[in-house]
Chains A and B, each alone.
Chain A
Amino acid sequence: GDSVTQMEGPVTLSEEAFLTINCTYTATGYPSLFWYVQYPGEGLQLLLKATKADDKGSNKGFEATYRKETTSFHLEKGSVQVSDSAVYFCALSDDNDMRFGAGTRLTVKP
């Protein structure tokens, strides 16, 4: 079945550092790909998405590009802030359902 594999955390960075969180997927069809974020004490919310190959999703300085050839959707941000500290989940959605990775906890220190 379809699945999502995320880079294991936790990840700890200093403010203004570069962030990459790796995400790869397996799917039989052509899924849509998402990054969701869960801030402390809050519910899951969409960060960005891409619905077809080579699409780039972006929001709040975060970016991810749908790479069909490497089945990847890595999340990047050029300069992280303390307020980016959260758990990040990669997810895919296809004909059948929406599945999530295990999540990567990011802590950004001042």
Chain B
Amino acid sequence: SAVISQKPSRDICQRGTSLTIQCQVDSQVTMMFWYRQQPGQSLTLIATANQGSEATYESGFVIDKFPISRPNLTFSTLTVSNMSPEDSSIYLCSVLGLADNNEQFFGPGTRLTVL
């Protein structure tokens, strides 16, 4: 299994500011993802964080709003830029395990509130 930590665990931010969320995995993994979980909603994939190249964004998400870095196989950051109250959500880092079943592991999440 993979153990994932995220920082910060929660934050309250002002409209118009930016927040960078860090994700650290205890082992090298190929696939890392960032998800958003809005209140009462299912998880929505924001992007796949690619090591050494630009992230792959899902429809509705753009790099200017959610820049992602992945400098190595154990670490990634997601920045939520120019925040508005609609960005209030839980942001989750996720990785795929190396076993054949491709089990997916999730970090504890970062609870973001934008005022």
- Asked if A and B bind, the verdict is no
B interface residues (Cβ-Cβ under 8 A, vs A): none
Name A's B-contacting residues (CB within 8 A). Answer: none
